[in-house]
């Protein structure tokens, strides 16, 4: 749990993460339900998006989700990177990058939500057939990095345990909760940025947008998609747990092991239906 800074921009970031975290919970779970439990990401075709955005309420919903998830994620990633970037020049570069990423992705996402789709299948970018390949390549790269990271961390831990080497702070559930919370938050932000780019194809080239979302049905990407649902569920409940402990003014240590177990059980239980749907099960 990050200590509350007394004042300044770090205090603002600390409060913003909490306020936006609370505001985003309902939006995130409705989004998960619609896209991952009641449907499939690969079924969110141009026809699906067009029908959804015909309703002003869904446009407002998606824009609020974009605004809160993007700003919360960037403020969180900025706070994480600030812990390692200690020199004034690196911190300035970090501030500039965070501002530029927020402005670019919020601007693009807002424009796409406001724009109507072109009449028919094709749009002004439809001849740029390399775009879906590039976006699919980005998704495959994210998935590969996630699989290699999980396997490498598992192998390193397994070897230490097999050799009975000390595992230091990894003996403590609090360390696992902290590391998984950060990895999940950063992973969801990374995916959100790619997702804004793929949805941006919708008004400019609905045919290429359809080709890009079809990639979500690739078996290679399915573990990553299930992992993303798990990352969102874990991060959301862990964030709520942290805020509850802070409100009650309790230290996490005594409750660390039971709350870690509860978080893992909750995450697995709420992610399994999404995995079943991804694997072809229909209610
Ligand atoms: C769904 C509801 C969510 C809740 C309740 C929530 C809650 C929180 C809280 C309380 C923190 C501060 C943790 C601390 O100070 O130690 C935090 C950090 C963070 N969140 Fe979220 N969050 C949510 C969704 C998201 C989403 C959708 C993203 C990505 C777009 C995200 C990315 C991050 C990142 C990168 C951090 C920084 C992690 C760190 O500094 O340890 N969060 N979140």
Residue 129 backbone dihedrals phi, psi, to 5 degrees:
-70, -10
Q: What is the DSSP letter of 61?
A: H
Asked whether 234 and 183 are in contact (CB, 8 A), the reply is no
Give pLDDT, residue 134. Answer: 94
Question: pLDDT tens for residues 114-151?
Answer: 998 888 889 999 999 999 999 999 999 999 999 999 99
Over range 192-201, report the average pLDDT.
95
- CA 28 vs. chain centroid, Å, equals 10
% of the chain with per-residue pLDDT over 90: 82
Structure tokens that stand for 10 in this block = 């770090």
Asked whether 271 and 233 are in contact (CB, 8 A), the reply is yes
Over range 178-197, report the average pLDDT.
95
Give pLDDT, residue 113. Answer: 96
Mutate to test the pocket of ligand 1, among 20, 183, 239 (most ligand atoms within 8 A of CB): 239
Give pLDDT, residue 283. Answer: 65
Q: Which residue has the tokens 């990352």?
A: 231
Q: Which of 132-136, 166-170, 184-188 has the least mean pLDDT?
A: 166-170
Cα 226 to averaged position of ligand 1 atoms, centre (Å) = 19
Cα 242 to averaged position of ligand 1 atoms, centre (Å) = 10
Report residue 195's pLDDT band, with 50, 70 and 90 as the boundaries. Answer: very high
Number of H helices, E strands in the chain: 10, 0
Helix axes 222-248 and 173-199, enclosed angle (nearest 10): 130
Question: pLDDT tens for residues 205-257?
Answer: 999 999 999 999 999 999 999 999 999 999 999 999 999 888 887 666 677 88
Helix axes 88-114 and 173-199, enclosed angle (nearest 10): 50
Over range 32-47, report the average pLDDT.
92
> In the chain, what's the furthest Cα-to-Cα distance?
65
Under 8 Å CB-to-CB from 220, ≥6 apart: which residues? 140, 143
% of the chain with per-residue pLDDT over 70: 98
Answer whether 0.85 is exceeded by the pTM.
Answer: yes
Closest ligand 1 atom to Cα of 29 = 1
Cα 110 to averaged position of ligand 1 atoms, centre (Å) = 22
Over range 16-25, report the average pLDDT.
97
The closest residue, in CA terms, to atom 37 on ligand 1 is 76
Of 151, 218, 243, 234, nearest to 186 (Cα)?
Answer: 234
Cα 107 to averaged position of ligand 1 atoms, centre (Å) = 22
Asked whether 166 and 222 are in contact (CB, 8 A), the reply is no
**Mean pLDDT over each residue of the chain, to the nearest integer:** 93
Over range 167-181, report the average pLDDT.
91
């Amino acid at each position: 749990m990050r200590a509350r800074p007394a004042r300044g921009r770090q205090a603002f970031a600390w409060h913003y993460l909490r306020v936006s975290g609370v505001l985003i919970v309902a939006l995130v779970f409705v989004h998960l339900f619609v896209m991952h439990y009641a449907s499939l990401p690969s079924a969110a075709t141009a026809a699906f998006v067009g029908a959804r955005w015909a309703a002003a309420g869904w446009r407002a919903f998606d824009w609020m989700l974009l605004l809160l998830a993007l700003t919360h994620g960037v403020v969180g990633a900025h706070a994480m990177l600030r812990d390692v970037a200690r020199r004034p020049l690196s911190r300035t570069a970090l501030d500039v990058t965070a501002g530029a990423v927020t402005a670019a992705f919020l601007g693009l996402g807002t424009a796409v939500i406001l724009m109507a789709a072109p009449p028919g299948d094709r749009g002004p970018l439809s001849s740029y057939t390399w775009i879906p390949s590039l976006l699919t390549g980005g998704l495959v790269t994210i998935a590969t990095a996630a699989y290699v990271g999980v396997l490498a961390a598992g192998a390193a831990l397994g070897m230490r345990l097999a050799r009975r080497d000390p595992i230091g702070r990894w003996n403590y559930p609090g360390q696992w909760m902290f590391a998984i919370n950060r990895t999940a938050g950063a992973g969801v932000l990374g995916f959100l940025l790619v997702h804004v780019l793929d949805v941006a194809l919708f008004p400019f080239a609905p045919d290429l947008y359809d080709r890009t979302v079809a990639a979500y049905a690739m078996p290679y990407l399915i573990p990553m998609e299930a992992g993303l649902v798990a990352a969102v569920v874990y991060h959301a409940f862990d964030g709520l747990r942290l805020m509850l402990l802070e409100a009650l003014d309790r230290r996490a240590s005594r409750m660390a092991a039971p709350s870690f177990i509860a978080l893992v059980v909750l995450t697995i239980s709420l992610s399994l239906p999404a995995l079943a749907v991804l694997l072809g099960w229909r209610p």
